[in-house]
Structure 1
Amino acid sequence: MSAMENTIMEVQKHCGLQLKLYSRCIEQNPSDWTIKCREGKSAVSKCAEENVGHLKRTKERCSAQIEAMQRCSIEHEGNADQMCAGALRALYDCTNAA
Protein backbone atom coordinates (compact mmCIF):
# COMPACT_ATOMS: atom_id res chain seq x y z
CA MET A 1 0.00 0.00 0.00
CA SER A 2 1.36 3.41 -0.93
CA ALA A 3 1.77 6.25 1.56
CA MET A 4 -1.06 8.10 -0.19
CA GLU A 5 -3.43 5.15 0.12
CA ASN A 6 -2.50 4.71 3.76
CA THR A 7 -3.13 8.39 4.45
CA ILE A 8 -6.51 8.28 2.72
CA MET A 9 -7.51 5.23 4.75
CA GLU A 10 -6.48 6.97 7.98
CA VAL A 11 -8.47 10.08 7.10
CA GLN A 12 -11.51 7.96 6.24
CA LYS A 13 -11.14 6.05 9.50
CA HIS A 14 -10.91 9.13 11.71
CA CYS A 15 -12.89 11.68 9.72
CA GLY A 16 -15.60 9.68 7.97
CA LEU A 17 -18.44 11.91 9.11
CA GLN A 18 -16.70 15.09 8.00
CA LEU A 19 -15.86 13.54 4.63
CA LYS A 20 -19.46 12.39 4.17
CA LEU A 21 -20.86 15.85 4.93
CA TYR A 22 -18.31 17.55 2.68
CA SER A 23 -19.05 15.14 -0.18
CA ARG A 24 -22.78 15.70 0.21
CA CYS A 25 -22.27 19.48 0.09
CA ILE A 26 -20.23 19.17 -3.11
CA GLU A 27 -22.90 17.00 -4.72
CA GLN A 28 -25.65 19.45 -3.76
CA ASN A 29 -23.74 22.50 -5.01
CA PRO A 30 -22.00 21.48 -8.24
CA SER A 31 -21.63 24.98 -9.64
CA ASP A 32 -20.45 26.83 -6.54
CA TRP A 33 -19.22 24.15 -4.14
CA THR A 34 -15.87 25.89 -3.65
CA ILE A 35 -17.72 28.73 -1.94
CA LYS A 36 -20.62 26.94 -0.26
CA CYS A 37 -18.57 24.01 1.08
CA ARG A 38 -15.65 25.88 2.64
CA GLU A 39 -16.82 25.01 6.13
CA GLY A 40 -16.95 21.32 5.27
CA LYS A 41 -13.50 21.46 3.70
CA SER A 42 -12.14 23.11 6.83
CA ALA A 43 -13.77 20.47 9.03
CA VAL A 44 -12.14 17.65 7.05
CA SER A 45 -8.76 19.40 7.14
CA LYS A 46 -8.94 20.08 10.86
CA CYS A 47 -9.98 16.54 11.66
CA ALA A 48 -7.25 15.06 9.48
CA GLU A 49 -4.57 17.32 10.97
CA GLU A 50 -5.61 16.40 14.49
CA ASN A 51 -5.97 12.65 13.93
CA VAL A 52 -3.51 11.63 11.22
CA GLY A 53 0.04 12.17 12.48
CA HIS A 54 1.64 11.92 9.05
CA LEU A 55 -0.42 14.86 7.79
CA LYS A 56 0.45 17.01 10.78
CA ARG A 57 4.18 16.35 10.34
CA THR A 58 3.96 17.02 6.60
CA LYS A 59 2.09 20.27 7.17
CA GLU A 60 4.76 21.41 9.60
CA ARG A 61 7.63 20.35 7.33
CA CYS A 62 6.12 21.84 4.17
CA SER A 63 4.50 24.96 5.60
CA ALA A 64 6.45 27.34 3.33
CA GLN A 65 5.44 25.40 0.20
CA ILE A 66 1.82 25.18 1.35
CA GLU A 67 1.70 28.93 1.94
CA ALA A 68 3.30 29.64 -1.45
CA MET A 69 0.76 27.43 -3.21
CA GLN A 70 -2.13 29.07 -1.37
CA ARG A 71 -0.87 32.56 -2.24
CA CYS A 72 -0.41 31.61 -5.88
CA SER A 73 -3.90 30.07 -6.04
CA ILE A 74 -5.44 33.24 -4.65
CA GLU A 75 -3.40 35.55 -6.90
CA HIS A 76 -4.21 33.53 -10.02
CA GLU A 77 -7.76 32.40 -9.27
CA GLY A 78 -9.25 30.93 -12.40
CA ASN A 79 -5.85 30.35 -13.97
CA ALA A 80 -3.97 28.73 -11.09
CA ASP A 81 -3.59 25.41 -12.88
CA GLN A 82 -1.28 27.09 -15.39
CA MET A 83 0.28 29.84 -13.31
CA CYS A 84 1.09 27.82 -10.18
CA ALA A 85 2.82 24.79 -11.66
CA GLY A 86 6.13 25.68 -10.02
CA ALA A 87 4.56 26.15 -6.60
CA LEU A 88 2.63 22.92 -6.99
CA ARG A 89 5.79 21.05 -7.97
CA ALA A 90 7.66 22.39 -4.93
CA LEU A 91 4.79 21.32 -2.69
CA TYR A 92 4.69 17.88 -4.31
CA ASP A 93 8.43 17.43 -3.87
CA CYS A 94 8.25 18.44 -0.22
CA THR A 95 5.36 16.15 0.61
CA ASN A 96 7.10 13.23 -1.06
CA ALA A 97 10.46 13.78 0.64
CA ALA A 98 11.47 11.07 3.05
Structure 2
Amino acid sequence: MLAALAVTSRHCRHQMELYGRCVATNPESWQRHCHHLRLDVTRCAAEHPIVQRIRQECSEPFAAFEQCLKQNPTSVLSCSPQVKAFLLCADQVKP
Protein backbone atom coordinates (compact mmCIF):
# COMPACT_ATOMS: atom_id res chain seq x y z
CA MET A 1 0.00 0.00 0.00
CA LEU A 2 2.82 2.41 0.84
CA ALA A 3 4.50 1.66 -2.46
CA ALA A 4 1.29 2.24 -4.39
CA LEU A 5 0.80 5.48 -2.52
CA ALA A 6 4.31 6.65 -3.40
CA VAL A 7 3.77 5.94 -7.08
CA THR A 8 0.32 7.52 -7.07
CA SER A 9 1.55 10.63 -5.30
CA ARG A 10 4.28 11.05 -7.87
CA HIS A 11 2.00 10.80 -10.90
CA CYS A 12 -1.33 12.07 -9.53
CA ARG A 13 -0.01 14.84 -7.31
CA HIS A 14 -2.77 17.35 -8.15
CA GLN A 15 -5.57 14.94 -7.28
CA MET A 16 -3.78 13.88 -4.09
CA GLU A 17 -3.34 17.51 -3.01
CA LEU A 18 -7.03 18.28 -3.54
CA TYR A 19 -8.02 15.19 -1.60
CA GLY A 20 -5.60 16.01 1.22
CA ARG A 21 -6.91 19.56 1.52
CA CYS A 22 -10.48 18.30 1.62
CA VAL A 23 -9.67 15.80 4.37
CA ALA A 24 -7.86 18.49 6.37
CA THR A 25 -10.72 20.96 6.13
CA ASN A 26 -13.42 18.38 6.91
CA PRO A 27 -12.06 16.40 9.89
CA GLU A 28 -15.50 15.31 11.06
CA SER A 29 -17.01 14.38 7.71
CA TRP A 30 -14.15 13.83 5.28
CA GLN A 31 -15.40 10.34 4.35
CA ARG A 32 -18.61 11.86 2.99
CA HIS A 33 -17.37 15.24 1.72
CA CYS A 34 -14.20 14.01 0.06
CA HIS A 35 -15.41 10.75 -1.47
CA HIS A 36 -15.51 12.17 -5.02
CA LEU A 37 -11.92 13.40 -4.66
CA ARG A 38 -10.76 9.99 -3.46
CA LEU A 39 -12.36 8.52 -6.57
CA ASP A 40 -10.45 11.07 -8.68
CA VAL A 41 -7.18 9.85 -7.17
CA THR A 42 -8.12 6.24 -7.83
CA ARG A 43 -9.16 7.03 -11.39
CA CYS A 44 -5.95 8.95 -12.08
CA ALA A 45 -3.84 6.08 -10.82
CA ALA A 46 -5.80 3.53 -12.82
CA GLU A 47 -5.76 5.56 -16.04
CA HIS A 48 -2.29 7.08 -15.99
CA PRO A 49 -0.15 5.36 -18.65
CA ILE A 50 2.99 5.26 -16.50
CA VAL A 51 1.10 3.73 -13.60
CA GLN A 52 -0.33 1.09 -15.95
CA ARG A 53 3.19 0.30 -17.18
CA ILE A 54 4.47 0.12 -13.60
CA ARG A 55 1.69 -2.30 -12.71
CA GLN A 56 2.64 -4.45 -15.68
CA GLU A 57 6.44 -4.28 -15.48
CA CYS A 58 6.74 -4.37 -11.68
CA SER A 59 4.08 -6.91 -10.87
CA GLU A 60 6.59 -9.36 -9.36
CA PRO A 61 8.15 -6.97 -6.81
CA PHE A 62 4.69 -5.67 -5.93
CA ALA A 63 3.39 -9.22 -5.43
CA ALA A 64 6.38 -9.92 -3.17
CA PHE A 65 5.51 -6.81 -1.14
CA GLU A 66 1.86 -7.88 -0.82
CA GLN A 67 2.93 -11.36 0.22
CA CYS A 68 5.23 -9.90 2.85
CA LEU A 69 2.37 -7.81 4.24
CA LYS A 70 0.18 -10.90 4.47
CA GLN A 71 2.92 -12.77 6.31
CA ASN A 72 3.73 -9.84 8.62
CA PRO A 73 0.43 -8.03 9.29
CA THR A 74 1.65 -6.51 12.55
CA SER A 75 5.14 -5.58 11.36
CA VAL A 76 4.94 -3.57 8.15
CA LEU A 77 8.51 -2.35 8.63
CA SER A 78 9.79 -5.87 8.02
CA CYS A 79 8.64 -5.41 4.40
CA SER A 80 10.97 -2.49 3.75
CA PRO A 81 13.20 -4.49 1.37
CA GLN A 82 10.17 -5.39 -0.76
CA VAL A 83 8.98 -1.77 -0.82
CA LYS A 84 12.44 -0.64 -1.89
CA ALA A 85 12.57 -3.27 -4.64
CA PHE A 86 9.18 -2.16 -5.96
CA LEU A 87 10.09 1.53 -5.88
CA LEU A 88 13.39 0.81 -7.60
CA CYS A 89 11.53 -1.06 -10.33
CA ALA A 90 8.94 1.73 -10.64
CA ASP A 91 11.68 4.36 -10.96
CA GLN A 92 13.20 2.44 -13.88
CA VAL A 93 9.97 2.26 -15.90
CA LYS A 94 10.23 4.64 -18.82
CA PRO A 95 7.22 6.82 -19.71
Q: In structure 2, list runs of 5 or more residues that go unmatched.
A: 1-5
| Percent of matched pairs sharing the same residue | 17
**TM-score, normalization by structure 2:** 0.55
1:78 aligns to 2:80 (yes or no): no
- Please show how residues 44-83 of structure 1 align to structure 2 within 5 Å: 44-50=41-47, 52-81=48-77, 83=78
User: SS of 1:95's equivalent?
Assistant: helix
Q: Provide, for residues 63-88 of structure 1, a one-character-per-residue CA deviation record: whole Å limited to 9, x for no partner.
A: 1111211221232123111x112211
Write the letter of the residue equivalent to 2:12.
Answer: V
1:84 to 1:49, Cα distance in 2 relative to 1, 3 A: same
Deviation at 1:19, TM superposition (A): 5.8
User: SS of 1:91's equivalent?
Assistant: helix
Task: Count matched residues.
Answer: 77
Higher relative contact order (CA 8 A, sep 6+): 2
Q: In structure 1, list runs of 5 or more residues that go unmatched.
A: 30-35
**TM-score, normalization by structure 1:** 0.54
The RMSD of aligned alpha carbons is: 3.3
Following TM superposition, the consecutive aligned residue runs of length 4 or more in structure 1 with deviations greater than 4 angstroms are none
